[in-house]
Amino acid sequence: MLRIDRAIHDQIWAHARRDHPDEACGVVAGAEDSDTPTRFVPMLNAARSPTFYEFDSADLLQLYKAMSANDEEPVVIYHSHTATEAYPSRTDISLAQEPNAHYVLVSTRTDEDTEFRSYRIVDGVVTEEPVELV
């Protein structure tokens, strides 16, 4: 189960709506081994695409250096889908490289904030998990 602060949930939504019609992406870092997302880090979608996201490699390197210095890890990796449901695509699944992360997808295909879903993706296997706002 993903337990996430309502303020971070709202920040993810705001980022997704702001970047629409392109996909938004980012990370929520947290203390190592805590499974608690605490630091919201919106990232630039280097692909600037409505159907694909890609972290800027220099930004991603800086983020991982900062997380390492702060004894943090990526607890949540999020992105938006602009025209489809909030479910990982084949590309999303193939690119998932953090087995301990919660992969959050939101869909901006409607104006409603109803599609905020979380998954574990390990070795190509997708498992949806409940989301609890705290």
* Token pair belonging to 27: 């990370």
CATH value at residue 49: 3.40.140.10
Indicate whether this model's pTM tops 0.85: yes
What's the CA gap between 31 and 71, in Å, rounded?
6
Total structural domains within the chain: 1
Q: Predicted confidence band at 110 (pLDDT cuts at 50, 70, 90)?
A: confident
Structure tokens at 3: 């337990």
Residue range 19-60, pLDDT digits in tens: 999 999 999 999 999 999 999 999 999 999 999 999 999 999
Report yes or no: 63 and 41 within 8 Å, Cβ to Cβ. yes
Residue 127 lies in a domain: no
Supply the range of the domain harboring residue 65. 2-114
